[in-house]
Amino acid sequence: MVDIKDYMREKAALVDSRLERLLPSADKMPPSVHKAMRYSVFAGGKRLRPILSLTTGELLGKVDQNLLDIACALEMVHTYSLIHDDLPCMDDDDFRRGKPSLHKAYTEGIAVLAGDALHALAFEILAAKAPPILVVEVAQAIGSQGMIGGQVLDLESEGKEVTPQQVEYIHQHKTGFLIRTAVRAGAICREAGGEALGALTRYGERIGLAFQIIDDILDMEGSYKNLGKRTGADQARGKVTYPKVFGLEDSRELAEKLIQEAKGDLLSFGPDANILSQIAEFIVRRIE
């Protein structure tokens, strides 16, 4: 039985050292945008998405350099989405992971462009290292009917009453699709198909939704220290959250139920899937 925190720290270090090489160095022309890209990528993320890709890859075979690069590209996509999400015209967040958001540390213009550059770099890496079918899937997961779609509805729902269906749409699209794709990336690179891919896809969907529900709960309850950003910000902006729509207790229960179901999705893999199972637990235990 591995210690899941040690495991995740070790994998995060592997991802960090590869990201260090994949990102253009800070003195490359024009330096400001490369410094900005590095500022946000190395702001202390947990690397959940790349860890999911790597762990799924390990479950089904071996992790090679290509999968590591694909995993890093997904982290770049995630970082670009956070940079744009923090902009004044979006969530207007001045802090991210305990540091000033990129547009505060640099300028709004550089933040828009550094996000765009990470977006392009991610596809440069994916096109070189991933099977085309996976590149297409990533693009769909983060496009107007995926992550961007969730962000749009999130932005437009501020201060409005929303239905349970709408909050589920927002969370599934804004956060869930990329997490599901991160899990699937490891499986697709190992040429998994049929029932194995189906089970991992459901696992990815469930932990993705649970992750966002927990994030909402942490925003409502957590302290600046634990989360590294303003908390209560969602409420102040009238953001759509699970606790707001379903109440705190029901949200907790739903997250717990999703995590149990996600662990159930892994049963056919036997004890080999123990780490993925612990990652699911880790997501919901962040709360405690």
- Per rule CB under 8 A, is residue 87 in the interface with its own copies? yes
Q: Which is nearer to its own copies, 131 or 264 (CB)?
A: 131
Q: Which of 44, 98, 109, 247 forms a contact with its own copies (CB under 8 A)?
A: 109
Q: Given the complex with its own copies, which of 150 and 243 has the nearer CB atom?
A: 150
Q: Considering only 26-34, 232-240, 249-257, 258-266, which stretch makes contact with its own copies by CB under 8 A?
A: 26-34
Q: Is 26 in the site for its own copies (CB under 8 A)?
A: no
| Options 61-69, 107-115, 244-252, 265-273: segment touching its own copies (CB under 8 A) | 107-115
* Residue 178 found at the interface with its own copies (CB under 8 A): no
Q: Nearer Cβ to its own copies, position 143 or 232?
A: 143
Among 140, 201, 235, 260, interactor with its own copies by CB under 8 A: 140
At a CB cut-off of 8 Å and minimum separation 6, what does 120 contact? none
Neighbours of 109 (CB within 10 A): 10
Among 113, 179, 259, 273, the residue binding its own copies under the rule CB under 8 A is 113
Q: Which distant-in-sequence residues (6+ apart) come within 8 Å of 154 by Cβ?
A: 170, 174, 239, 240
For the chain, give the secondary structure using H, E and C. Answer: CCCHHHHHHHHHHHHHHHHHHHCCCCCCCCHHHHHHHHHHHCCCCCCHHHHHHHHHHHHHCCCCHHHHHHHHHHHHHHHHHHHHHHCCCCCCCCEECCEECHHHHCCHHHHHHHHHHHHHHHHHHHHHHCCHHHHHHHHHHCCCCCHHHHHHHHHHHCCCCCCHHHHHHHHHHHHHHHHHHHHHHHHHHCCCCHHHHHHHHHHHHHHHHHHHHHHHHHHHHCCHHHHCCCCCHHHHCCCCCHHHHHCHHHHHHHHHHHHHHHHHHCHHHHHHHHHHHHHHHHHHHCCC
Stretch that binds its own copies, among 128-136, 186-194, 216-224, 236-244 (CB under 8 A): 128-136
Interface with its own copies, residue 283, by CB under 8 A: no
Stretch of residues binding its own copies (CB under 8 A), selected from 48-56, 83-91, 233-241, 280-288: 83-91
Burial 255-268 (b: 16+ CB within 10 A, else e): beebbebbbebbee
Q: Does 28 bind its own copies (CB under 8 A)?
A: yes
- Of the pair 115, 243, the CB lying nearest its own copies is at 115
Among 110, 266, 283, 284, binds its own copies (CB under 8 A): 110
Binding its own copies by CB under 8 A: which of 16, 123, 202, 230? 123
Residues 40-69 that bind its own copies (CB under 8 A): none
- Please pick, from the candidates 21, 65, 132, 161, the single residue that binds its own copies as defined by CB under 8 A: 132
Question: Which residue, 150 or 222, is less far from its own copies as judged by CB?
Answer: 150
CB of 135 to its own copies, least distance (A): 4
**Which tokens in the block code for residue 10?**
């070790």
Give me the residues that bind its own copies (CB under 8 A), please: 24, 28-30, 32-34, 37, 84, 87, 89-90, 107-117, 119-121, 123-124, 126-128, 132, 135-136, 139-140, 142-146, 148-149, 151-153, 155-156, 169
